[in-house]
Structure 1
Amino acid sequence: MARLAAVLLLVSSARLASAASAQVFAPPSRGPLVQTANYTSFSNSTLNDKHKTKGKAFNRFIQVWLENTDFATAASTPVFESLAEQGILLTNSMAVTHPSEPNYVAAIGGDFFGMHDDNMYHVPSNISTVVDLLEERGVTWATYQENMPTTSFYGFDYHAKNYISPGSADYPYYVRKHNPLMIYDAISQDPKRVKRIRTFNDFANDVVNDAHDTTIDFAASFLEYWLLPLLTDPRVNDGETLIMVTFDEAETYSQQNRIASILLGGAIPLKLRGTEDDTLYTHYSSLSTVQNNWGLKSLGRGDTNSDLNNVFSFVAVKTGHKNTRIPADKVPQFNLTGVAPGALTSALFQPFPAPNLHATGAGGRGVLVRPGLDKTLTPDKLPAPVNLLNLNKTTPWQMSPRTGSGGAIIPCANSACA
C-alpha cells in the first residue's frame, strides 16, 4: 500500500458560474477514497512513497484550500463550527492580496511578484519554491486537483461532463489559477516533479471543492463528503498528521482580507482542541511552519518577513520558536487590489528580484537558491518599473490560454530573468 506524501497541497477546482446560478453540491462518488467516472480520467498509478521524514511537531501536513469566503460567513457555518470543535480556529489569519491566483502563487514561492489578476502566467525555473526546500531534506510532497482531467495537465482550464446536471453543457470544473505548483517552471517543466501534480482519482488511488463563485453551503457539503470521513481514517489522519482547512482570500474586497482557517488532525494536542488562536498568520505562515517543523531552508521572501511569517503557535511552542506579536492597530491591510511592481504585471513590470540571501528562516537555516539566479538583482537594485502596456507589450511571463493548453511555455527573456 502506498504511503501518503508528507506534504499534501490539496486544492479544489473553481466553479465559474455566478453565485446566483451556482450548482448544488452532489457527491461525485460513494466517498473520497472511491474513484469515479464523474472525474475525467481514472488513475492507474500510485506514488508509492515509502520514506517518512519525521518532523518536530507533525510528520504529515495536509492543506485543503477553498475559495473566496469572508471569515464570518465561513466560521458561522455548522460544518466549520463542528470542525473548529475538533481543532484550532485561527481567528487572525490573513490572505496576502486579491484576487485568487496571487495568493496561491505566494503560498508556494513566498511572493506574488506583483500579480494582481487571474491571467495565465509561468514563473521561471530559477525561482525557488517550497518543493525545493522539501526535497532537499527528503520530505515527500504531492498536490491533488479536483476535476483536473489528467495528471500533469498544463492547460488554462478544462470543461468536463456536468455530472450534477446531466444533459447540460460541459462545465468548467477545473482552472489552472488554483493549481500553483503548475505555475512554477521549476516544477511543471521537470518530468519527475510534474507527475506529482495529480487528480482526485489519483488521491483515491494513492491511498487512501472549493467554494469559488458557489456558496458556502456548497463548500460545507464538500467537506462533509470529502474531509470528514478522512479525519477518522488512520491511513490519512494518524497521530502524526496536521490538516489545515483554509481559504485563499476573503470575498469582500473593501475590508481586511481575513480568512477562516482551522488546524485539525492527530498532531493537534488534545488540550488545544476546540480552542482559538489569535496570532497573526498569513499564507506565508504555512511555509514557515513547514520550515520550522522539518528544519528546512527558506525562500528568503515573505516566508522570512517576521511581520508575516508566524509559525502556528502549537508548533512554535514545541520547537521553541519565537513568534512576533503585532498589536491590532499595527496589522497591515492585506486587501490589496491595485497594481504593485513585479515581474507578473505588465503595468509596472520589473524583473524577478533575488531573495534576501542573508535571511534566516523559521527552520534555522539559510536561503535555498536555484541555479541560474542573478543574485545581484536585489530589490534595491532593480530597474524602475516599466508600463509595458504603453508599449503594446505584456510581461514575458504571461501566456495566452491557447498557448498554455498545449503545454508550451514562453522562453525566458534575458531582460526579465532573475
Structure 2
Amino acid sequence: MRSHLFRVALGLTVGALVAGCSASSSGSATRTPSSPASSVSTTPTASSARATTTENAAPSTASAIPRFDHVVVVVEENHSSGEVIGNSSAPFTNSLARTGALLTQSYGLTHPSYPNYLALFSGSTHGMTEDSCPHYFSSNNLAAQARARGVSFVGYAQSLPSSGYRGCSAGPYARRHAPWVDFTNIPRSLSRPMTAFPSDLATLPRLAFVVPDLNYDMHDGTIAQADSWLRSNLGRYASWARTHRSLLIVTWDEDDRSAGNHVPTILVGASVRAGKYATRVDHYRVLRTIEASFGLAPLGVAAQRTPITGIWTS
C-alpha cells in the first residue's frame, strides 16, 4: 500500500513539472503587440514597404529594361492626350501610337513648361515655377551622368543659331525648352542645331534630346505642322530604331491646363510591344527608364519611381 501511494505521488509530481515546462515554452513563443519581439513581423509596414520598393525591387526592375544602342527623346508642347491621340491632323504621331507603346496615363508635373523640362532631364524642378531665363545649374543631370559612364550625348534644337549658343531666344528658338544649356557641367559644344542631326543614323550619339522650335512643337504652330515636322525629321529614325536596337520616345511637357496635365507619351523601337498601357507615368518615371536602360543611377525624384515595365518584348 505504501509503495502504491509513493508511485501515485511521483506520477503527480512529474505531471506537474511537464505541464509547467509546456506552459513556459508556449508562453515564450507568444508575442503580444507590446512585446519587442513583435517588431519581427513579416507584414510590411508603410515604411518597410517603401524600403522594399526602392532598395530591393528597383535593381531587379531596372535589369528588365532593354539596353539600347541609341535613345532619342523628343519633347512637344502644351497639348493634352485627348487633343493629339485620335486627331486626324496628326496622322504620323498616331501611327507611332498604333505601332508603339502608348502610355495612356502619362502626366506632366506642373505648369509652366520650364520645370517639366528640368524634371525630365535632371530629376528635379530646381524650385522653378516660371519660364524665366537664364538659369545655370552645376548639379548632376542625365547628360552628365551618361557621359561619365562613356555614353555620348547631344541636345538638338531647331532654330538654334549656332552650336553652344546660350541666348534665351532666337526667333522661334526658346532656351527654356533646351535644359542641357542650363547645366555648366555639359560642354557647350553638345548643344547643336537640328541641322546637325546626322543623316547616317548609326553615327547618332547614344543619347539625344530633340526639341522643335515654337512653330513646330505645337506651342505656337498647329498640330498638323508639328506632326509634319516630326515625320520629316524623326520618321526615318522611328523606322530604323525598330531594327537597330534603338528607341524613340515622344512626349509632351504639359497640357494646356485643360485636362489635369494628361499628356501623350509614346515609345517606339526595338523590343517595344505595341499596345496601350495604363500604367501611370510622369517625367520622373520616363527619366528613370532611360537611366535604367543605360545602367545609370536614378537622379533626384526619379529614385522614387520605378522604370516602365510591361511594354517590352524582351
TM-score norm. by structure 2 comes to: 0.69
**Which one of 167, 175, 179 corresponds to residue 155 of structure 1?**
167
The structure with more radius of gyration: 2
Distance in 2 (CA, whole Å) between partners of 1:80 and 1:56 is 23
Distance change in 2, residues 1:181/1:203 (3 Å): same
Distance in 2 (CA, whole Å) between partners of 1:315 and 1:58 is 15
Distance in 1 (CA, whole Å) between partners of 2:262 and 2:124 is 18
- 1:15-54 mapped onto 2 (5 Å cutoff): none
1:195 equivalent in alignment to 2:195: no
Distance change in 2, residues 1:75/1:297 (3 Å): same
The amino acid across from 1:176 in the alignment is: R
Residues 131-165 of structure 1 show CA distances to partners (whole Å, capped at 9, x for unaligned) of 2321222111111101101001100111xxxxxxx
Residues 229-286 of structure 1 show CA distances to partners (whole Å, capped at 9, x for unaligned) of 3333x4x6533101111111101x2541111011101232xxx22x111111111122
Match of 1:227 in 2: 234
Distance in 2 (CA, whole Å) between partners of 1:173 and 1:237 is 32
Q: Does the 8 Å CA contact 1:281/1:310 hold for their aligned counterparts?
A: no
Distance change in 2, residues 1:313/1:213 (3 Å): same
Distance in 2 (CA, whole Å) between partners of 1:202 and 1:95 is 29
Q: Does the 8 Å CA contact 2:66/2:271 hold for their aligned counterparts?
A: no
SS in 2 for 1:63: strand
Structure 2: runs of 5 or more not aligned: 1-64, 204-215
Deviation at 1:205, TM superposition (A): 5.9
Q: Does the 8 Å CA contact 1:289/1:315 hold for their aligned counterparts?
A: no
**Which one of 137, 146, 149 corresponds to residue 158 of structure 2?**
146
Q: Does the 8 Å CA contact 2:80/2:259 hold for their aligned counterparts?
A: no
Distance change in 2, residues 1:227/1:294 (3 Å): closer
Q: Does the 8 Å CA contact 2:137/2:182 hold for their aligned counterparts?
A: no
Distance in 1 (CA, whole Å) between partners of 2:251 and 2:98 is 16
Match of 1:280 in 2: 280
Match of 1:241 in 2: 246
Distance change in 2, residues 1:250/1:71 (3 Å): same
Match of 1:310 in 2: 306
- 1:297-376 mapped onto 2 (5 Å cutoff): 297-299=297-299, 301-305=300-304, 309-314=305-310
What percentage of residue pairs aligned between the two structures are identical?
29
The amino acid across from 1:210 in the alignment is: D
Distance in 2 (CA, whole Å) between partners of 1:64 and 1:98 is 19
TM-score norm. by structure 1 comes to: 0.53
Q: Does the 8 Å CA contact 1:58/1:267 hold for their aligned counterparts?
A: no
Match of 2:29 in 1: none
Distance in 2 (CA, whole Å) between partners of 1:88 and 1:283 is 16
Structure 1: runs of 5 or more not aligned: 1-54, 159-171, 188-192, 319-418
SS in 2 for 1:289: helix
1:95 equivalent in alignment to 2:121: no
Deviation at 1:122, TM superposition (A): 1.8
SS in 2 for 1:93: strand
- 1:337-416 mapped onto 2 (5 Å cutoff): none
1:266 equivalent in alignment to 2:266: no
Match of 1:65 in 2: 75
Q: Judging by fraction of residues, say which structure has more helix.
A: 2
1:118 equivalent in alignment to 2:131: yes
Distance in 2 (CA, whole Å) between partners of 1:63 and 1:223 is 12
Distance in 2 (CA, whole Å) between partners of 1:211 and 1:255 is 16
The amino acid across from 1:107 in the alignment is: L
Residues 281-336 of structure 1 show CA distances to partners (whole Å, capped at 9, x for unaligned) of 1111222112222221232x21112xxx2312247885xxxxxxxxxxxxxxxxxx
SS in 2 for 1:185: coil
Q: Does the 8 Å CA contact 1:65/1:246 hold for their aligned counterparts?
A: yes
Distance in 2 (CA, whole Å) between partners of 1:281 and 1:128 is 22
Residues 370-406 of structure 1 show CA distances to partners (whole Å, capped at 9, x for unaligned) of xxxxxxxxxxxxxxxxxxxxxxxxxxxxxxxxxxxxx
1:290 equivalent in alignment to 2:290: yes
The amino acid across from 2:195 in the alignment is: N
RCO greater where, 1 or 2, for CA within 8 Å and sep 6 or more?
2
Distance change in 2, residues 1:316/1:266 (3 Å): closer
Deviation at 1:221, TM superposition (A): 1.6
Match of 2:99 in 1: 86
**Pairwise CA RMSD of aligned residues?**
2.1
Distance change in 2, residues 1:317/1:291 (3 Å): farther
Residues 204-242 of structure 1 show CA distances to partners (whole Å, capped at 9, x for unaligned) of 36757311122212211212222223333x4x6533101
Distance in 1 (CA, whole Å) between partners of 2:82 and 2:307 is 23
Distance in 2 (CA, whole Å) between partners of 1:80 and 1:317 is 22
Residues 75-131 of structure 1 show CA distances to partners (whole Å, capped at 9, x for unaligned) of 122333211121010101111111111111111111112211111032332x11112
The amino acid across from 2:143 in the alignment is: V
SS in 2 for 1:280: strand
Distance in 2 (CA, whole Å) between partners of 1:224 and 1:113 is 33
Distance change in 2, residues 1:239/1:315 (3 Å): farther
The amino acid across from 1:262 in the alignment is: I
